Amino acid sequence: MRVLGIESSCDESGVAIFDTVRGLLAHRLYSQIAMHRDYGGVVPELASRDHVRRIVPLIRDTLAAADCELTDLDGVAYTAGPGLAGALLVGAGIARGLAYTLEIPAVGVHHLEGHLLSPLLSREPPAFPFVALLVSGGHTQLMQVAGVGRYELLGETLDDAAGEAFDKTAQLLGLGYPGGPAISRLAQEGDTARYALPRPMLGSGDLNFSFSGLKTAVATLRRKHPEDAARADIAAAFQAAMCDILTAKSLDALRRTASRRLVVAGGVGANRQLRAALVAGCETLGAQVFFPEPELCTDNGAMIAYAGALRLREGENIAGFDVRPRWELDSLAAPRG
Ligand code: KG4
Ligand code: ZN
């Protein structure tokens, strides 16, 4: 089965073709980051309009790269939520239109399910069950994953998402958008030990997170040290605090669920310091940690094509056209055959 995947929930247009026998045939991405940079964040209406411009040419490119025709497709998957309503509607409209014309099924995929299953596209995929740490621009969750569509929420952020914390801290330090990669680069030149920042919720006795206090602490620190020379040290201190918190909670989730496998997904999972901390932490527990290929950490069409293929293969084909800007991941069910 050959499935075209379309991602358009935020500021990247992603298109991919996944074949259930041959694997990922091709994927293409157009990032709108440069367009939104002047505004310091994503402007929803500009995002929707740009998806309209980019997705069809991307589909052509991806088909050519996969050496496929439209008529070789057996199904279409698109991100149905969560995300920006207008941006989601563009992908959904194109996907549903294509599927209708080609007389093939279409399926709306949960964006976080895409992220969560993306490590299964790597060369050494994890087996079920596993604990997943989902860290993106909009979400921070620990999930117990028993299989496709079998997700149990273990803990989540009570305020800002991890990616949002990186983005807001980057803004406080006068760095560009998106903040994660910028902080990570600057932190390399910084001294982690120069400033002490809090680790909120570390001792909370549950698996929830809170990052807004950390952001306030960064703002206070920055006011005390407005000089340019302090920026790298603040970035390093912030990144160290984030890594400590995310690692400690992930290890706690492994212990509580007696799991031996941790899967990391979402844009913040691209952070090298975090990867190193999770690898070291898991080693102490005798657990294994799995990451998506770096290019599949942030938003992409491949994860949507893949998650969609798993659902379409089971015969899932929900008619109708809808997007869900807000959508709880643990409300999903296993594929309906
Ligand atoms: O998963 P993603 O691409 O989009 C969402 O679904 O939100 O995640 C984007 C988030 C942004 O907040 C960005 O700053 C963060 O992931 N991010 C990073 C890194 N690369 C992207 N955060 C820390 N370190 C990175 N290297
Ligand atoms: Zn995402």
Protein residue with its CA nearest to atom 26 in ligand 1: 271
| Binding site membership of 190 for ligand 1 (Cβ less than 6 Å) | no
**Is any atom of ligand 1 closer than 6 Å to the C-beta of 298?**
yes
- 135 and 237 both lie in a single domain: yes
Q: Does residue 247 share a domain with residue 106?
A: no
Q: Is 324 found in the same domain as 273?
A: no
- Predicted pLDDT at 256: 98
Same domain (yes/no): 203, 149 = yes
On whether both 302 and 322 belong to a single domain, the answer is: yes
Domain assignment of residue 36, yes or no: yes
Residue pair 212/245 in contact (Cβ under 8 Å)? The answer is no
What pLDDT score does 315 carry?
81
Whether residue 254 contacts residue 287, with contact meaning beta carbons closer than 8 Å, is answered with yes
Is 122 within a domain?
no
Please indicate whether residue 179, judged by its CB atom, sits closer than 6 Å to ligand 1. yes
C-alpha–C-alpha distance, residues 105 and 93, integer Å = 14
> Residue 302 is encoded by which pair of tokens?
């491949």
Pocket test for ligand 1, best of 215, 268, 274 (most atoms within 8 A of CB): 268
The answer to whether position 13 is within a domain reads: yes
One domain, residues 285 and 156: yes
**What DSSP assignment string belongs to 55-67?**
HHHHHHHHHHHTT
Is residue 121 included in any domain, yes or no? no
Q: Is 203 found in the same domain as 139?
A: yes
Task: Report the C-alpha gap between 127 and 139 in whole angstroms.
Answer: 24
Using the mean position of ligand 2's atoms as its centre, give its distance from the Cα of residue 275 in Å.
18
**Listed residue (196, 152, 102, 148) closest to 308, CA to CA:** 148
- Cβ atoms of 48 and 87 within 8 Å: the answer is yes
Which residue's CA is the closest to the ligand 1 atom numbered 23? 180
Range of the domain at 72: 2-116+296-331
The tens digit of pLDDT for each residue in 104-155 reads 999 999 999 999 999 999 989 999 999 999 999 999 999 999 999 999 999 9
Both 167 and 201 in a single domain?
yes
- Is the domain of 106 the same as that of 22? yes
- What pLDDT is recorded for position 24? 97
pLDDT digits (tens, 9 = 90+) for 149-180: 999 999 999 999 999 999 999 999 999 888 99
- What backbone torsions phi and psi does residue 162 show, to the nearest 5 degrees? -60, -45
pLDDT value of position 178: 87
Distance CA 253, CA 167 (A): 26
Distance 233 CA to ligand 1 centre (A): 21
How many domains does the structure of the chain reveal?
2
| Residue 249 placed within a domain | yes
- Residue holding tokens 């910028």? 182
Question: Ligand 1 pocket, 178 CB below 6 A?
Answer: yes
Residue 40 confidence (pLDDT): 81
Q: 173 and 261: one domain?
A: yes
Per-residue pLDDT at 323: 86
79 in ligand 1 pocket by Cβ < 6 Å? no
Q: Give distance in angstroms: CA of 266 to centre of ligand 1.
A: 7
| Closest of 110, 216, 124, 129 to residue 168, by C-alpha | 216
Q: Are residues 321 and 285 in the same domain?
A: no
336 occurs within a structural domain: no
Residue 165: give its domain's CATH number: 3.30.420.40
pLDDT tens string, the chain, 337 residues long: the values are 999 999 999 999 999 999 999 999 999 999 998 899 888 888 999 999 999 999 999 999 999 999 999 999 999 999 999 999 999 999 999 999 999 999 999 999 999 999 999 999 998 999 999 999 999 999 999 999 999 999 999 999 999 999 999 999 999 999 988 899 999 999 999 999 999 999 999 999 999 999 999 999 999 999 999 999 999 999 999 999 999 999 999 999 999 999 999 999 999 999 999 999 999 999 999 999 999 988 899 999 999 999 999 999 988 776 677 789 899 999 998 887 6
What lies within 8 Å, CB to CB, of 115 at 6+ separation is 134, 136, 265, 266, 292, 303
DSSP three-state, residue 298: coil
pLDDT at 38: 86
User: 99 and 7 share a domain?
Assistant: yes
Q: pLDDT at position 319, please?
A: 64
Give the Å distances, CA to CA, from 107 to 20, 57, 71, 135.
16, 21, 18, 24
